[in-house]
A = this chain, B = another copy of it.
């Protein structure tokens, strides 16, 4: 290795992305919004076309010891749809590229693909292309999703304004707890024949980890209420980290209330069992695939009517930073300790 080389872990995922995308210019008129949001925004024939892509690598993003291939396919597709919904768009097409190592059989790939197809059927998305090749290095899945935005209604991360309400769908931390549970049972099962994992009373956690859904329903209900969020993002890396993305992109601060963060009962039980801080898990767990968005204060009544949506705080001016207001009323600065595989390595 040459001299003066920098370890990637020194920068982390976001640092590396910042570095390689620095100075990128959009030169063609059909490129409206590039790197830095949940999806790129293009414009073809006057229509907003959204493009997002996700790569999943065996041993980094999934462990086939406990992830069924059909679920993996389903999740790989859904996480892309989630990025399109986060732009207030509708996913329309995907391409699927697979790198397949020798230990996989045709039947394995059938199972993986059946999950991808099921997700596409449920969300009304067409599979229009892809690439298939052999891999020396386990299973590689790269999916790109093309979506459509309604004219003038595409929502980015950068429109949050002082006094806007911070809203979320669903609940947080369950997928992370599901991962802890699956890892625990994997360890417990080591070397045992006929091992039966203990998932009773924790089915929701397992489902949130293995078979997440994208919040199409929320995007549809917002539209039905005539609400266009001022900013939106999907929660893949953890609520705290995503909130900071919105605040940075919008040049604002925020305050969210600890006691308003929606957390499922099973998540709380599991966190108790593991001796983990529940709020930390909910703020930083990641893989929730819920929507985090802001709306003007004037939409309070309308947004409160949407089932599954909760107002958890508000946007402030930019100088005030991002903070959590705890149950006892004190302010803790939010930290982005979201899931960061390049730093964890």
Main secondary structure of the interface of A (DSSP, over half): mixed
In the complex the two chains form, is B134's CB within 8 Å of A11's CB? Answer: no
In the complex the two chains form, is A105's CB within 8 Å of B1's CB? Answer: yes
In the complex the two chains form, is B30's CB within 8 Å of A92's CB? Answer: yes
In the complex the two chains form, is A142's CB within 8 Å of B55's CB? Answer: yes
The 8 Å CB contact of A45, one of B6, B47, B52, B61, is B47
In the complex the two chains form, is B34's CB within 8 Å of A127's CB? Answer: yes
* Chain A contact residue count (CB 8 A cutoff): 85
- A39 adjacent to chain B (CB < 8 Å): yes
Closest to A100 in B: B8
CB neighbours of A98 from chain B (8 A): 55
Known pairs A44-B148, A136-B138, A140-B99; A55 contacts B131 (CB<8 A): yes
Instruction: Choose among A8, A54, A92 the residue with the greatest number of B CB atoms under 10 Å from its CB.
Output: A8
* Interface flags, A1-38, vs B, CB<8A=1, else 0: 11011111011010011011100111110110111000
In the complex the two chains form, is B60's CB within 8 Å of A133's CB? Answer: yes
The 8 Å CB contact of A345, one of B21, B102, B109, B131, is B102
Copies in the complex: 2
In the complex the two chains form, is B55's CB within 8 Å of A140's CB? Answer: yes
In the complex the two chains form, is B137's CB within 8 Å of A27's CB? Answer: no
In the complex the two chains form, is A20's CB within 8 Å of B110's CB? Answer: yes
In the complex, A7 Cα to B101 Cα: how many Å?
A: 11
CB neighbours of A95 from chain B (8 A): 40, 51-53, 144
- A304 adjacent to chain B (CB < 8 Å): no
The 8 Å CB contact of A19, one of B39, B55, B106, B130, is B106
Closest to A6 in B: B106
| A42 CB to nearest B CB, Å | 6
Known pairs A144-B95, A146-B51; A20 contacts B109 (CB<8 A): yes
Closest to A114 in B: B20
- A126 adjacent to chain B (CB < 8 Å): yes
In the complex the two chains form, is B26's CB within 8 Å of A126's CB? Answer: yes
CB neighbours of A140 from chain B (8 A): 55, 57, 99, 137, 140, 142
* Interface flags, A72-106, vs B, CB<8A=1, else 0: 00000000000000000000110101111011111
The 10 closest A-B pairs by CB, nearest first: A45-B45, A137-B137, A45-B47, A40-B128, A142-B142, A5-B105, A6-B106, A144-B144, A55-B97, A59-B136
Q: 30 A-B contacts, Cβ less than 8 Å apart?
A: A5-B108, A7-B106, A19-B110, A25-B126, A27-B124, A30-B93, A34-B126, A35-B127, A40-B128, A42-B92, A42-B128, A44-B47, A44-B148, A45-B45, A47-B47, A53-B95, A53-B142, A53-B144, A57-B99, A57-B137, A60-B133, A60-B135, A95-B144, A134-B345, A136-B138, A137-B137, A137-B138, A137-B140, A140-B142, A144-B144
